Structure formats: structure tokens, C-alpha cells
Structure 1
């Protein structure tokens, strides 16, 4: 996950970056940071917490400049500590390089070991720092060639922004795992993980940064370079961006997220055409698939679970009673709508199963007569190594349990997962360009399955 935002050639760049990060807050809630360049020096501010908690008017006033990059973090590699907050800055030869990285490398540990043997000293446990070391090591060849050399060494998912002196750089892995969009604003240029960040401040969307592309923006304008001229790569856009991560008002991989989520719901009805009193989502993750199912089936939609939008993250509590209160703090059923009814509940996915079990239990306790639980993606059976926090198969309920066993665990009448074909049909012409590894275990690039353990032990 994670969200990145960069802007070039616009006064008050940090203020616009702040708003851009606000729009991307759904991509990471652990930390936020902004780095800005004013023509003479680089300034930075970052901290743990939400964008609104890390920044205030006084802080932004001190971040004057016309080039800026920002980052909101959702950790996959590296623990949640201040040293791991991005953008990550390094100073060398009286110069500063800052990086903001969305994605996850699968060979970071091996490269890190090699660099440490050569005398490199690391400040963090992030895979992003490996990228910085490789770039700096090759800078004598020029910035573009340094990035090309780095891209040829690293494997995995990366949509990256760099701020280096008076230059803003964006580059993206050749498989295209994570989204990255390019736009124009007030005579300058903007790059962001999702187009919803463009909409907030009025950026004109131009195009996506292409997989394997390096985009350099300086006083002469944008210039594009290809890191891989001969090698062929199979595009592997993360399909979970469509299912859950991206905001529904964004365009990613040149597709509208809202419409694809509706298509997922419509395909659910084609595969599992149930009759009930109404369709209801678990908000907000199931909202748009539920709309699609409702429209395809002709059944009414009710928002019979109310989400408290003002709650922060809840912490695991020691007793079952307190844990149940934590669940109800976020979602609460509307008893008068549910009492005596047969309901179709829609959600986007089922990971460990414990949270959904508690939510479904609350619907039953509210008086629902029958509960059919439908999921707008196939069973999650395998870990992701490209930026989603599915750490191991053991933590995925569908890895070792059948659909019927999971249904009994959830204590409901029906459990149905959308098929892989139903998922591919919903993404239309991208069907041959998406990564399905978390469903099939077929990874688009070779993965060293020990690397997460290795990184955790650094």
C-alpha cells in the first residue's frame, strides 16, 4: 500500500502536498512526511500518525518551496518507528536525496547484505533505503543511468518519487504492480498514487507513469526514459487495488475503481443469484459491490450497518467483552431494519475471518432471520510479497479451510466467494495484466520466501 505525492514548479508546494496526502490517507495511516526544496536547501517534516496529526499550519508555513514530495505509510517491510517514516532523506557530497516509495522489494535483504559487506551503513529497516544506496552508489554515471542500474538490480513492486536538488523524479517497476499517475497544475507538474489526489486540488490528469518508465522533471520540463529496452515483462497490476485499496473515485491502471467494484457485485449475482429481503454492505468496503448486486438482482439495498467515521484505529484488548465493544465502536447494526429479515451481506474480502465473524454475529443478534454472506473476490489463500500485508498463509483462513468449514466458523446460512473468472470479467481488458498471486499462489516474479523473516530480524 502506501501513498506518494509529488509536485514540481508550484509555489507553496508543501501545502498542495499536504492536501494530496490527505486525499491518499486511505493508503496508509501509520505515518506521514513531506520534504520540500526552495532552490537553496531541502527541508523536511515527518512523524507517526495521520496527516492531520503530523502537520499543522505553523509547520507547513516553515516548509516553503516549489518542489515537494510526500508519503503516507502502511508498513510491510520495516517496523513502525520514526526512523522508518518516509520520505527518507540522505545527505552526501553536500547534496540531499529524498525518496518516497510505494511497494515492496523481494530481494532487498540479499542486496542489503552485499552493500553492508562493502561498508554501507543503514539507518532504517526499510527496503526503500536499499534503493537509495544503489542510486547514490551509481550517481557518478549520471542520475538517469544511476536509476537504470538500480532498477536492473531490484525486484518487486515500486512506484517511487525522488527529490534530488532541483529535480523531481518518478519511476515505476516494469511489472506495474502499483499505480502512479502524472498530471499538470498551475504551470507545474504533479505525480500521485491515485487520481483522487488530483481531483482535490484541480490537477489535469495527463497519463499514468508507464511500467519501467523513468520520468525526470526539471527546469526544462518532463523527459521520459525507458529503463528496460530489450527485456519483456508481463504486466502484473495488483488486482486488490480494485477490490479494496484504491479510493472508488480514482482512476488506476486507466480504469474507474467505482465501476469495477459495481461490476464485481453484478458478477456475484450472476454466479450466486439469491433471493432475500434486501442486500446490505459492510461499509465502506462492501458498498459498491453491494450496489452492483442490488442493481443486477432488483433487490433493494439497505445500509443496515452504520459506520462511525470518527473512530481512529482500535487496539486489541485483553478480554473478549472489550474486544466486542471495539468492533461495535466501528460498525453498529440497525435493529429495526434487520429484525426478522433474510439478508444478503456483501463485503470485499475475508482475510483472517475473526472480524467478519463478530460483525455477522451482531447482525444475527439484531434479529436477522437468515444471513447470506457474499464476497466480491476469490478466497485469499497465499501471502503477498508486493506491498499487501498478507504476511503468511497461516494467517489466511481460506488457506487451510474449505468454504463449508469457513461458513460453519462464521455461523451463517450461506457463504459464497466470487470466482476468479468473475473477477477477471469485471476488470475487462485488463484480465491478462493483473496479479492473482494471493488467490492462486502463482507469483509473477520469483520470490525468496525467507526474505520477510530475514528483514524482520535486521
Structure 2
């Protein structure tokens, strides 16, 4: 018997991580652990916290979920992380190397003292920078692109921690949201295009920097504002300071945060994620309506879009597929004979709502198509008379290089097939995706309008807003992600 990653997770794109930092409370580590619980959806492979009391740094990093490392059975672990400030990180699940050396936050002792940092995103010139740094004598301890930043800070001759960080980040390309911790300050930084989310919150006199507003809700903190693209925040004993040390760039927030990544109860860039998904579903119904008896979401990520679709189409919404919420990240596969049953560990058909009906299945995306095929087969076996699938995103035709775990392009179903061919492979009576223009309409931002917000939609259009330096420099098949082994 072997433990393997659940196959029903292979057919979604995966966010790389979530970050959380808090300054100015004796319960910094406990609050960080709670914040990471709320951000568990952004990464399930590993988690870590570093705290400081101004003199010492205390850390715990571990593989697995937040609850396994900082839950009720691990209270002593949190209690040992003493200090008035802390940062934490959740790392996404992948098939790459699983090792403690890659778990964040990363920590290093510099000339100026201890410094920890964690990162959500991906540096698109990390491989080239890493090769240069190795030739100059740097010794890397991990295979993360984040460690490149550590070495750039170490080599800086600037006087202050903030100036060293600014000099380091001026040498990198890519999408990033950083939370950093020195002995006296919490620092947050967002890339000039604002691809990845980062927000500012407050709990009494304590400031918080984190990926999503749901991490504020769990500790009763107030949302203050989004960290602006290209903004650097420094929080210390004197309060909050804001800097804009980088050249301004076009705002290109990742639109997939609204489709799938962010939690539905979060506010991202001032927009309710739940409301955005409902609006996308409604627009999808307008674009690709079909006669049917029931609208069924593929849980859980397809639920808000299905609610919007059903309301706009005037078709009843039903939970025709029930999700088992108690399935872990891994499961035992004793034989090849039962491996194909893996999807039923997570989803089961609600036969009473499907038998004899024309069913519209609503999901957030199709990546490889493996899970969609199994879901459709399950619905047909439950007695559905017709099965139509509607997808609340355009076809995913390109890989992401900005912090999303995406298969190589040749493994993306939509990159190899037409919609009609995909429908035949998946086994549906009809298949339709929301159009890219429809997606922008749902977000209230006319596409290509110079006065409107333009998102990063490269996974649908191939329009990459940030230079893919490593890829264009001969590393086309590689991005140095959080778990990828450097060749």
C-alpha cells in the first residue's frame, strides 16, 4: 500500500501559498496560527511560523496542514513561539519534492541581525539569478525561488534592512507578495503589477499583513485596505510607514483569484469573491443557456457560480453532488483495481436529484479533464437523462508563471482540443465556457477599455504582463517554484 496525493486534486490549478504577519501583540504566534487556519485553502503541503521577541527568533516549520502543526494537539508548539511579532506561511500541494528545507518562512542571520521572510508568487528570473549567485559563491540550502531573495539581501551593501530589501527586489522579475520579519519590524511588499493579493488589517493596536480578509475575520481583526501594487509597508514601534520604491507598472491582478483561488467569504481588491462568482455564473447562463431541469454545482468551488447561473436561467438549483469534507490530502491506494474509484472518496451523486433529469453541471475550470470525466460518468450512472457542463472560466490554454502550480501546456486539455473535442472526451451532451469578454463583463470591467481595470488573464489568453526571463532565456519548461528541484 502507498500513500499518494488524491487524484481529484490533480484537475485544478493550485495556488502556491498564503502569508500572514502580525506586529504588536504578545499572542503573535497564536494569532498567526489562526490566520493560517483561515488560509489553509491556499496551501496544504506544509506550514511554518517564525516569531520574535526583539532579541531571539523562534520557529516551527512542518509538513502537513496547519492543524497538524499548530492545532489543539500542538499547543505547546505555539506556546514556545514567544514574541510580539510573527509571520507564517502555508505552502501549496504539489507532486514535487516534499522536504523541510523548502518550508517557509525562511530565516537567516545577517550582519544586521535575524530576518525571516515568506513569499506568495513566483520569480520569473529566479533560475538566472540563482546561477549567477552560485557562480559568485553563494550556497543555497533549498530549491525555492524565495531563497534567491535571501542571498540578494545578504550581498547588498545598503545600510538598513528596508534598503537592502528594496535593492534585492529591484533585481527580480515576477509576481510576489512578501511578508518579512526583522527583530524590530514587520514588512509587507507587493509587486508593481499587483498580481498576487496582499491586504492590511488591524487588531487593536496591532497591524496585520496577509493574503486574504478571511484571515482577519478569524481573529476578529478589521480590514484596513489592500496593499497597493508596488507598495512597501514597514510596521514597527513607531507605527506604520508606506513607501513606493519601484517603478510604477500596469495593475494586473490575477483574475483566477475570483474564479477559484480565494475563499468565497473574502474581499479581494475591494470585491466580494462570492458576489463575483455569482456574477460570473449569471453571465455564463446568458452566454450559453440550454434547456434543462436542474443546475448542479461541482462542489465546493462551483457552488457560487451555479447559484448565479440558476438564478439567471430560471432553473432550479440542487445539490446533485455531495462532497465528503472529511477526506484528507492523501489516501491509501491498495491496488490498481480501485484507483479509479478515488473521485468517489470526495464526491458522490445525489441520485434523487439527478435521475431522469436534464442536468447542467457548473464547475470553475477544466485543466486536464480527468475529474470532469469522472464526475460526468458518476452523474450519468445516477440516471441523468442529459448532462451539460458549463465552466465559469474561459478555456485554460496557457501555463502560469506567476505563482500558480499549472501543468505544462501540452497537458492542458484546452490547449490540445477544441471545445467540441473536449465535450466528447468528457462525455457531456454539450460543453461551454464563459468567454473572456463575458468574464470581464461579470467583473464590471470592459476588456481593453483603457479606463477599466485589466487583469492578469495569461492562463486564458497567453498575454503575460511580466517578462518570463527564465523561460525566454532557455528554461522554457521550468519555473523555480516552491518545491521544484533545481537542475
TM-score class normalised by the smaller sequence: over 0.9
Whether the 8 Å contact between 2:283 and 2:438 is mirrored in structure 1 is: yes
Pairing partner for 2:438 from 408, 422, 428: 422
Whether the 8 Å contact between 2:174 and 2:467 is mirrored in structure 1 is: no
- Separation in 1 of the partners of 2:133 and 2:95? 18
1:48: how far off? 0.4
Pairing partner for 1:47 from 30, 44, 62: 62
Whether the 8 Å contact between 1:174 and 1:235 is mirrored in structure 2 is: yes
- Separation in 2 of the partners of 1:320 and 1:241? 35
Q: Does 1:390 align with 2:415?
A: no
Length-normalised TM-score, structure 2: 0.91
**Map 1:36-435 → 2, pairs under 5 A:** 36-55=51-70, 56-74=74-92, 79-93=97-111, 95-138=113-156, 140-228=158-246, 231-314=247-330, 317=333, 321-429=337-445, 432-435=453-456
- Separation in 2 of the partners of 1:210 and 1:67? 22
Going from structure 1 to structure 2, the CA distance change for 1:10 and 1:268 (only over 3 Å counts) comes to same
- Separation in 2 of the partners of 1:379 and 1:343? 21
1:303: how far off? 0.3
Q: Does 1:439 align with 2:460?
A: yes
- Does the residue aligned with 1:238 lie in a helix, a strand or coil? coil
Whether the 8 Å contact between 1:77 and 1:127 is mirrored in structure 2 is: no
1:254: how far off? 1.6
Whether the 8 Å contact between 1:35 and 1:68 is mirrored in structure 2 is: yes
- Separation in 1 of the partners of 2:198 and 2:309? 30
- Does the residue aligned with 2:404 lie in a helix, a strand or coil? coil
Length-normalised TM-score, structure 1: 0.96
- Does the residue aligned with 1:116 lie in a helix, a strand or coil? helix
- Separation in 1 of the partners of 2:93 and 2:124? 15
Higher relative contact order (CA 8 A, sep 6+): 2
- Does the residue aligned with 1:237 lie in a helix, a strand or coil? coil
Going from structure 1 to structure 2, the CA distance change for 1:195 and 1:406 (only over 3 Å counts) comes to same
* Unpaired segments ≥5 residues, structure 2: 1-14, 448-452
- Does the residue aligned with 2:405 lie in a helix, a strand or coil? coil
Instruction: Report how many aligned residue pairs link the two structures.
Output: 456
Provide the aligned C-alpha RMSD in A: 1.7
Going from structure 1 to structure 2, the CA distance change for 1:58 and 1:139 (only over 3 Å counts) comes to farther
- Does the residue aligned with 2:389 lie in a helix, a strand or coil? strand
- Separation in 2 of the partners of 1:3 and 1:280? 30
Going from structure 1 to structure 2, the CA distance change for 1:385 and 1:318 (only over 3 Å counts) comes to farther
- Does the residue aligned with 1:184 lie in a helix, a strand or coil? strand
- Separation in 2 of the partners of 1:43 and 1:82? 16
- Separation in 2 of the partners of 1:451 and 1:404? 29
- Separation in 1 of the partners of 2:343 and 2:156? 50
